[in-house]
Every structure is written in C-alpha cells, then in structure tokens.
Structure 1
Amino acid sequence: MKCNNLVKFLCLGLVVFFIGSTSTFALTLQEKAKYARFLTGYTSEFTPQEREKLAKVFIDSATGLTPQEKAKYAKFLAGSTSDFTPQEREKYSNVFMDAALVIPPQDKAKYADIPGVQNLKKVKPNGDFLYVVKLGTLAPEGVGWAALIKQIINPGILKVTSGLIYLNWYYGGTMGDDQDILAKMRNGQLQGGGFSGQGMLMACPEMALIELPFMFESYDEVEYVYSKLRPRISQWFEKHGYHLVLLAEQDFDQVYSTKYPIRTSDDFKNSRFLTWYGSLEERVLKAVGASPLPIRVPEVAASIRTGVCDAFISPSIWAVGTQMYTVMKYLNPMHIRYSPAGGVITMQTWNLLPKEAQIAIDYYVTSIEKDFRQQVRESNEKCLKAMYKYGMKEVKLTPAELNLLKKRLMPLWDELAEKGYYTKAELAEVKALLAEYRAKNKK
C-alpha cells in the first residue's frame, strides 16, 4: 500500500507519544474493519475518540522495532517516506499493515480446514497454505484495469487476509468472453470474473440503469451516484447469486468509424455498426436508425479488418489494445454511455470464505475503489491522446445534433424499466440524484 495516503495528523506530537507508549489497545472485529479504511486515509467518518484510539494502535504496532527504528517509523506514519530505502519502506509498511489485519497471522492456522473450499486450498512447500480463487477476464494482462488488479487488488487482498485468500486471474480471454466466463462460474470451473460493462449487465440486469445512454455527463456525477448507491449495487448482484468485490469501470465509451465520420444521427444509419456489448447496445443503435450486427468479442477485430462492419462503440484502451486504431479513421468522443466494470465472485464461493476474510476484503477494496477508477481514467486518457497523435481524426456532433440524438435515446430509459431491468422507482431515484448534484454544482 502506498504510504502517501497516511493521515496527516500523525505528526510531531504523536512522535513523542509514540516513543514513550507501552500500552496495548485491542480492536474489536468491527473496529478492525473500520481500521482498514483508516489506513488508507478515510478519516472523516471517525469520531475524535475513534481517531485517537486508532492512532494509538498505529503506535502499538511497532513493538518489534529498535528505538532508532521507532523514531523513523513515526516519520513513516506521518507520511514522510522520501528518506527511506526501499527495504525500510517495505519493512515499515509490513509493521504498519499488520496492526490492521482482521485475520492476524497467528490466527491463520484455524482456517486450515474450511468446509466446502478444500478444492481451492494450496499448500506451499514450507507448510503454509492459502485458498486460490480462480477468475477469468477478457482484459489483457498488464493493460488498463487488469494491470491495476495486479498492482493493487491482488496484493492488497492477500495482505489484509494474512495470505489466506489469493486471486488467480486468467487474463486476455483465455477463459473466453464475458458470456463464457459467467457460464464457467455457474458450472464451478471458475469462482469469479472481471467483467466489462457487457458482463456486468449479463450478471446483473439492474446495471442497465448505470449504462443508459447519456445518463451521466461527467466523472463527478458518476462518483456522486456511486457514493449514494454502492451498497444497493452490491445487493443487486447478491440477488442474482454474485458478490461484487470491486466496482471498477470501463470509462465513458467513444464512437469509432472507418467509413463515415459520425457527425449526425443519420451517420449512424449509413454506417455498419457491430455490437459486442449485448442487448442494451443493440437497442441503442436501433433507436438511432442503425442496423447493428451482433459479434462476439474475439471476432470483433476480424469483422472490422475484413470490412464486415465499419463502426463500433468502445473505450479507448480497447481500441489501442486491439490495435483497432490502425484501422479506424474517425473518433467521436461524445459520452454516449458510461460503462462500469467489476470483479465478481459467486455467492456460493463467497459464503464459504471466513466472515473475517469477507470483512477484510470488502473494507479494503471499497476504500480504494474510487482511486482505482481514477487510474483507469488516466490510462484511457493516455490512449486517446496516443490515437490522436497517430492520426485518428476527431469529429463531433453540433449541439443541435447532440440534442436530437439524446431525444431519440431517452425513451429507452423508461422502456427498460417497463421490461424489468430495473424499477421505475430506481430510475427516478438516479434521476433525482443527478438533478440534486447538478443543482448544487451549476457553473
């Protein structure tokens, strides 16, 4: 975990108290769960008494250090890490994190024989053990949010569960596309998956509410709605038999074309759009007069290169990762839809994990989700700039054409509610949240 997120109130006065402190402050399971958020800098939700208690836990966590190391560790806690060697940063980070573990290392042995998941258990040569949860994803290893999973999610979960839970990812579509991965989860071949917006919708139809055309205008609006609905979104997934571990994102998607620049709604009619995103995207394209051709993700590149189709909607990182930017000529950056993404585990597997592991995983991941999404956006922005630099031409709709397009697509919002993807009340709630946010943030 990066230490520049440490709370700033751990400063000089705390250093003095730290070096002289010998008391022990035990945390309850619930407090440890909150402490996982405290560690990542989320302190505003704590009372002064809770902040004081948790700060003392920081102090007590350094019992194995020499007086000189304690003095340096105090600086580490206060966020001054620039004068540390990589070895020191690693050492102090480990001391720092151990205080917050819901599953202390000394208690790990009692989870050696969890009923129902022995098929996931892997014993190391040194006798240590862990439970390996297998997940598939279309995302290529080392690119975009797959890279962030490897850098942030995997090591974080392994750490906060004291090495009990390890996520083993099959990247790059080796387990098939989202539809295939969900099928493998149902038959037990996989315990989970990392999904694009299409897969999120297939697993949980209510996610159509987040993916509606032109629902959001900005990232701030997305984050505002997520801040209000995140627990509800988890409940939606649970209703369908899944636990939402990570609410990530695909980002706002763009419109790419190689034959006609998409400048008017009529250009949708003239272009041959492929659709890989499922029924929602198909409805969107038909509503604007296009005749979409459903294509499975592995066949998308070939369909474009052979001229079967000449336009599609996707995030910029996909266009770069598949090298479609070498074929496509035009890019329209309108926010036609916001696409979530996420990491999901079957409830059958999730319910077999120790309650302590569930708490540790949920608190850790939810505390870093917003930063995770921000890093995805930065990756996509770099890809957009790279495509423009390569020579792809940006085209835009006029304000009048954009309003016309929105009017054609707005009826879909109510249609999907009537078809049971989500309720009319849920749609009204999201619209009210957006109206509330926009009223507070008028330019």
Structure 2
Amino acid sequence: MFLRKSLATLLGALMVLACLTAAGNASAGEEITLGSLAPKKSPWGKVFNAWAKAVKKKSDGALKLTWYFNGAQGDDKAMVAKIRAGQLDGAAINSVGLSAIHKDILALQMPGLCTTWECLDKVRDAMTPRFQANMNKEGFVFVGVGDVGLARTMSKGKGIKTPKDLKNMKVYAWQDDITYPTVTSVVGYTPVLSSVPGLLPALSSGRINVITVPCLAATQLQWWSHLDHINSQVAGIGIGGLVISKSRFDGLPGDLRELFAKTGKKAGKMLTKRIRKEDAKAYKMIASRMTVVKMNPAQKARWKSIFKKIRKQLGQGTFPAELVNKLNTLAGH
C-alpha cells in the first residue's frame, strides 16, 4: 500500500515537473535578431516594427523579432559577417550587402540596366529563383526582395551633365562595392571611398561632394542637405533584401518557420509599395529645394553609351558574361 502511494506521488510530481518545463519552454519562445542600417522611424523601420508586432501576435508570443536599427550591428558587410558567425540571425541589407553573400546579385544594380520599376520587376522576378538557390548554398535564406529607390546624381557647386563635369569633383564610391573600379575607370574619375555610415561626415566636411543614390536614402540618412544640385535622370535602381541564416531558419519549429517566411514575404511586398511611393515624394521634396539638372538628348545618349560599356566590362570578370547578357536581354538592351 505504501509502495503504491509512493509511486503515485512520484508520478504526480513528474507530471507536474513536465508541465512546468513545457510551460517554461513555451514562455521562452524563439527570438530572431535582425539588423538594418535604416533608422527606426524611417519607412523601412516602421514596416519592420509592424512586421515584428504581427509575428508576435500571430504566434501568441512564441516568436519574437528583435530589430537593431541605424547600423547598431555595423554596416551591411559587418552584419553579413555576424550572421555567418552566429552573432546575428538575419538582416535587411542592400545590394552590396547581398553581394557579400552572392556577388552576382549586385549585377541587378549595374548602371543603366534598369531605370524604371517596371523594368526592375521584370528582371528581378526572372532572376530571383537563381539567386535564392545560390544564397542557400552559402548558408542563407533569401526571405524577400526589397527596394531602396531610384538612384540620381546629387552634387554641390555645379550640376553633372557629362563625364567632364566630374573633373575636380569629389565623387563618392562605396568602398565595399565591387563594381566601382570598373565604373570609375570607364567614366574617368578617381573616387573618394567611404562606408555608408561614413558618408554623412564626409559630406559635411566637404571630403565628398557628388553622390549617386536614391532620394529616400538621401533624406532619411540626412545626406541631401549638404548638396545643391540633383539630376532628373535616373542612373539606376538601389535594391536590397531580407536574409536570415539558413541554420537558424531551419532550426525554427515548423509552424514558426512557416509564419516567419509567410509574413516576411508579406512585409516585403508592403515595403516595396511604400518605399516606391516615399522615394517619389523624397525626389519631389529635394527637387523643390535644389537646382534640377536636366540633360539634353545628346548628353543622355552619351551616358547611355557609357553605361553600356560599363556593363560589358563588368561581364568580363566581375560577373559572368552569361549573366550580364541575360540581364541586358531581360531589360531590353
């Protein structure tokens, strides 16, 4: 009798312990850490925060997305390195950051390849499965694509209409961009290299006075106020995407993994729509406060020829020739 009572007590205690352990594990949940260069209150930050709230609600708190904004985890290259090292789970990064994982993605941003959203959508949609597969091989999951904006040239002191106008100007090139040596060589200028976080101090000190960037990025990161001319012509399109460590993604419970992927794609679509709208508004605002530089047909044709030459040379070593030819065909060149 005493033995049966003792066994019953022991089994009861074990059941209580199991329930407490399960409850503890449920309350702990899963946390995904994500980084971004975007400020918290920027259009990107607002969408990412809304996504995090939606995930927490839909999972009843079982999945939490923790965002580190404004470059708190370093620039894009640093964030990719942290993801590889297991110090960060994922990040929203631009094309240069994506190219640190699989360099061919940066080819989507070649000068003059696409200057309209319609062109980008066509080309990127056709190439995304290929890029996703290659990123998986590198240990990353490409959750969704993103946009940064239509890139235009902004300058201080004078407008830029021809390559000769760049003479004696201090032209910015992102130090991690593998295409800049070819671009600067073909156009014919010596760039001033900088990281993205280092660009604002360089502009304010006068070390750089020409940039080609999307207007939304220029306003959100406070670059535009140090310049006084902007080209109406679009030189290219800034792109990005959301990535996460494949091992971290695969390690999530099935239901949470599905929730993360599904809501991530939805957030990407929301972000694309919002960024395109906000980028257009940013250009309108900047154009109202700067001298708008408009090129004549001959000048436009000159730049088109230069961009074509740049893309050809990029296909002779930086990117596979097959890839560049395919992108040119998709874009209608």
Q: Distance in 2 between matches of 1:292 and 1:354?
A: 48
Change (3 A) 1:363 1:308: same
Q: Does 1:314 align with 2:205?
A: no
The letter of the residue matching 2:329 is A
User: TM-score, with normalisation over the residues of structure 2?
Assistant: 0.85
Tell me if structure 2 keeps the 8 A contact 1:144–1:317.
Answer: no
SS at structure 2 position matched to 1:419: coil
Aligned residues: 314
Q: Name the CA distance, whole Å, in 2 between partners of 1:269 and 1:293.
A: 13
Determine whether 1:430 maps to 2:327: yes
Following superposition, the deviation at residue 228 of structure 1 comes to 2.6
Per-residue Cα deviation, 1:141-182 (whole angstroms, up to 9, x for no partner): 11022222222x323444555543322110001111112212
CA distance 1:376–1:208, change in 2 (3 Å): same
- Give, as a single letter, the amino acid of the residue that structure 1 aligns with 2:44: W
The question of 1:226 aligning with 2:226 is answered no
**Aligned equivalent of 1:89:** none
In the alignment, is residue 211 of structure 1 matched against residue 211 of structure 2? no
Residue aligning to 1:143? 42
- Structure 1 residues 222-231 or 301-310, which shifts more? 222-231
In structure 2, relative to structure 1, the CA distance for the partners of 1:156 and 1:248 (3 Å cut) is farther
Task: Give the root-mean-square deviation of aligned CA atoms.
Answer: 2.7
Give the equivalent residue in structure 1 for 2:13. none
User: Are the equivalent residues in 2 in contact too, given 1:248–1:343 (CA < 8 A)?
Assistant: yes
In structure 2, the gaps of 5 or more residues are: 1-17
1:58-79 per-residue CA deviation (whole Å, 9 max, x = no partner) reads xxxxxxxxxxxxxxxxxxxxxx
Evaluate the alpha carbon distance shift between residue 230 and residue 357 of structure 1 in structure 2; reply closer, same or farther with a 3 A threshold: farther
Match of 1:190 in 2: 88
Unpaired segments ≥5 residues, structure 1: 1-108, 114-121, 439-443
2:246 maps to which of 347, 362, 383: 347
Write 1 or 2 for the structure with the bigger share of strand.
Answer: 2
Maintained 8 Å contact 1:148/1:372 = yes
Q: State the SS of the aligned residue for 1:236.
A: helix
Give the whole-Å Cα distance in 2 for the aligned partners of 1:260 and 1:385.
Answer: 20
| Cross-structure match for 2:229 | 330
Q: How does 1:239-258 map to 2 (within 5 A)?
A: 239-258=137-156
CA contact (8 A) 2:182 2:314 kept: no
- Matched with 1:154 is 52
Residue type of the partner of 1:427?
V
Alignment check: 8 A CA contact 2:108 2:124 kept:
no
Residues in 1 aligned to 2:212 and 2:53: alpha-carbon distance in whole angstroms? 33
**Residue 358 in structure 1 maps to residue 253 in structure 2:** no
| 1:325 to partner: Cα distance | 2.4
**After the TM superposition, which parts of structure 1 deviate over 6 Å for at least 4 consecutive aligned residues?**
none
Q: Distance in 2 between matches of 1:298 and 1:434?
A: 32
Contact 1:160 1:361 in 2 (8 A): no
For 1:322 and 1:432, the matched residues in 2 are separated by 35
Say if 2:96 and 2:106, in contact at 8 Å, map to a contact too.
no
Using a 3 Å threshold, how does the CA distance of structure 1 residues 304 and 148 change in structure 2: closer, same or farther?
same
> Residue 274 of structure 1 aligns with which residue?
172
